[in-house]
Structure 1
């Protein structure tokens, strides 16, 4: 069970007001809010142990290195990676995807095929299009249906000996659909294709086990998990990470440098050139601890109650249409009201203190499928309340009346 009052007290921003109204924050799919313990960890790093890591013999450097590497181990255990060096600390999900997409440039040939889903965020589309331009590989797309689910029979038809890589999100950021990644991974592996799963939207709601999934790459961002911006992970099976060349050159990722030849360091440093976001990495570990203390089963159960309640309440508004009606979804509702532009509604309810996302959510192909310019997206977290949903519904009714 979640003690909602205790949880909300952990998040200082939830006491803020916007336009003279109490903040109602329903933009969690874009970024989550941060508990005080995470904020404190960032301040503590810069106040007490600020130093560069891995390179110094002095005490501050050793303390900072220990804290950073302890965070990596926390993240390893959370995702159940076999080895800590299979966790590459990056600038976020987009950075992680680009590391893999760039690395596969040397592994693909003209005519090879890679598969993406129709439900992707642009960050899991554009890097692969760029990869195809570099290599001559062919990009195939698993189509979606009206419920916002993938048409798995089409995926089956796409798989062949030419398939080298399959990549898709665990959860759609625009619709909340939970994709059947276990089935997709198993089927792809029968054709010896590697699989990358974008976990940016799933990790706040689901605790993935990368070994149980048998996934080759899994990527995520700290800022969706109550952690700071500018840090994330690339999990990769050791054998795959060893196949990929370094993404960028610089300090830390080298073993030996001469003007004639450079040899690269082993994992994870091979992919971690330069000074990292040290405070962010440490705070990521603190955020993981915080969410595990609450418990992901508790989080999922409570957020599902919020989703069911909000769905029923929103559907009482005449003309409101929900996009993405999969039976398996996380606490995200994308909707429009009649022909009113979502931006106009979002602007009005912001005056009432309510934060939602409007637009195509960096998932323009989904909006094109539905033939709409965008949606209003309300995304819920374990620190939201049923009362806040009531406030959203009342605000939407006012906006509708003003714009009709």
Structure 2
């Protein structure tokens, strides 16, 4: 198929959404699909408030129209609810072009954590955005159930994967190289954006033996580093260094309540490191019964239980998740235009465009 992916989240951003989308695109292309990505670097942008790494596209709608006319896609997927997503949605609704969407971030909770906006306002926007979608793809059964309770329709599963060649248990340790020769064990690791919605302070406040380590950067880092001087803040790490951080930890601690999945959970498990978390979206679907971690309303209890997990069993569990299976599920969820109608649709659209151009001239 010729697939268009419209997203406000793309490289060089570093987060779970971008990793999911880039790996999905790569796997789809490897399967023989033609995938075109509409993303912020193709347009004039401004930094997102409180999150400058995210660039918001300005005045992109007409360019997106031209891209869609030129590409004549057989399927359109809108991955995010930002300016590119809104513009693509508007065009698809206007043209009666089928499209799908996905729910990657608990946007209502995310916004409420940063601004004085009630959560219900965020859900009203999200329901409006996703209502015309042929399928709304979500990562976990728990998230599907919660969205259905909020009145969302046409929800389909789209699981995630992990690169078990990059994240693996046989990597060399790293914390000694980063100043940790005298750090007491066990090592409790958190990886991700250091921001208020990630609830990292709950991890830092938890009374645990050993050393707490935070890998990542973000707007809350300076404040948390000053408030918790005993914790080790190592900044953002990438590639092999990041994988070695996962491998060297004794337990990966995931305190977030706002993530919809948490790819870092699988990355830690692939490195053989068990996971401790709250019973939130992602952990509640991945951890129970896995022998690869523990969840509990009390984070300390979860951490101490996870410490008992077998690292070989943890790795074995992560090996069940592949990006190819994730991409195949994504493609199955797409709603392509039926073959007999596809040619007529784009021919009709080209005629309308020609008439409008002549009228404007």
TM-score, normalised by the number of residues in structure 2: 0.32
**Normalised TM-score (structure 1):** 0.29
User: Higher relative contact order at CA 8 Å, sep ≥6: structure 1 or structure 2?
Assistant: 1
